[in-house]
Each structure stands twice: as C-alpha cells, then as structure tokens.
C-alpha cells in the first residue's frame, strides 16, 4: 500500500516563519502542525526541523514527551479510555485492554482500515460515570468489559 507524502501547507509555512524567532516556538508550531494534519507526519517534522533550524531529534523528543502529540493519524472514531484514579479503580484498564483486544491494535494505534484508534487519557472529568470511554466526544460511562464489543459495533454500523 503506497502512502502519499505530506507537504507543508502555505498557511502552516507562514505560521512557522512567524514563530521562528519567538521563544517557546517549537511547541506552538507542533500544535499547529497537529491541528492542520490531525497528527505530526514525519515529512512535516523534517521540514519543520529545517525551517526552525532545530535538530529532528529534539522535535521527536518533544513529540514523544507530551501525550497530546500523535505520530499516527487517528482513526475515524478515536476511542479515549480514561485511566484517571476513579476510572482506573473501577476497571478502566480492563476496558482499555478490551478495546485493544477487540480491535487488534495496541495503545495509541489505529486499525488497518482507519476506522478506530485507541488511546489512554488521564481524567475526562466524568468520575461519577467511571469507568468511562469517549468516542469522538460521545461519552460512554459505567462501562463493563462486555460493553466494549457493543460500542465497537455501534460505530462500525455508523460507518
């Protein structure tokens, strides 16, 4: 399967140029890259490195340090499983493992068909509904392991 290479948009290039000389520019630029593409494509990271005159290793250091940044495009349905204290204590980790098992992908990965991605997050602010998963902003609370299959089926049917 061939994958098209991403190229930096003129708007993003202008943003990078605008931020080039400002302190703290790297994180601001990476946020804009992710906002533009939904993740940080390797080609864009390389181009950013050249434009900012920052080593590529430093860029990847920042990307991998902060959980917010993604190196893979999220699936059409991005599943976020809460592992905050309340959710974790009520079985959030089991819910997360259930999604990974049912979808056949690991954490922070996207299914081969591009339909689903799975990530762990810290506290979604729905502690009273623990354990919780959010799919594209739709909250699913008081989950049990048996609910995982039903949730996946719901979104598969939506297409």
Distance CA 59, CA 36 (A): 17
pLDDT given at position 1: 37
Please give the C-alpha separations between residue 78 and each of 11, 86, 138, 151, in angstroms, as whole numbers: 26, 22, 10, 12
Query: What does residue 120 show for φ and ψ, rounded to 5 degrees?
Result: -100, 140
- Nearest one of 124, 116, 115 to 106, comparing CA atoms: 116
Residues in CB range of 85: below 8 A, 6 or more apart: 123
Whole-angstrom distance, CA of residue 7 vs CA of residue 55: 19
pLDDT of residue 5: 63
Distance CA 92, CA 49 (A): 38
Q: Which domains does the chain have, with CATH numbers?
A: 10-65 (no CATH), 77-158 (3.40.30.10)
Helix, strand, coil percentages, rounded to 5, for the chain: 50, 15, 40
pLDDT of residue 43: 95
Q: What is the pLDDT along the chain (159 residues), one digit of tens a residue?
A: 335 567 899 999 999 999 999 988 999 999 999 999 989 999 999 999 999 999 999 999 999 888 788 888 889 999 999 999 999 999 999 999 999 999 999 988 899 999 999 999 988 899 999 999 999 999 999 999 999 999 999 999 998
pLDDT at 4: 55
């Amino acid at each position: 399967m061939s994958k098209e290479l991403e190229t930096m948009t003129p708007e993003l290039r202008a943003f990078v140029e605008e931020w080039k000389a400002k302190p703290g520019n790297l994180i601001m630029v990476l946020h804009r890259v992710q906002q533009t593409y939904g993740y940080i494509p390797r080609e864009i990271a390389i181009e950013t490195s050249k434009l900012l005159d920052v080593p590529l290793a430093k860029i990847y250091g920042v990307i991998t340090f902060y959980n917010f940044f993604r190196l893979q495009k999220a699936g059409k349905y991005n599943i976020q499983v809460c592992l905050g204290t309340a959710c974790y204590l009520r079985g959030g980790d089991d819910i997360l493992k259930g999604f990974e098992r049912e979808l056949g992908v690991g954490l922070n990965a996207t299914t081969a068909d591009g339909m689903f991605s799975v990530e762990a997050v810290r506290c979604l602010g729905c502690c009273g509904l623990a354990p919780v998963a959010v799919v594209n902003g739709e909250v699913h609370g008081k989950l049990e392991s048996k609910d995982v299959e039903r949730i996946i089926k719901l979104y598969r049917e939506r297409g």
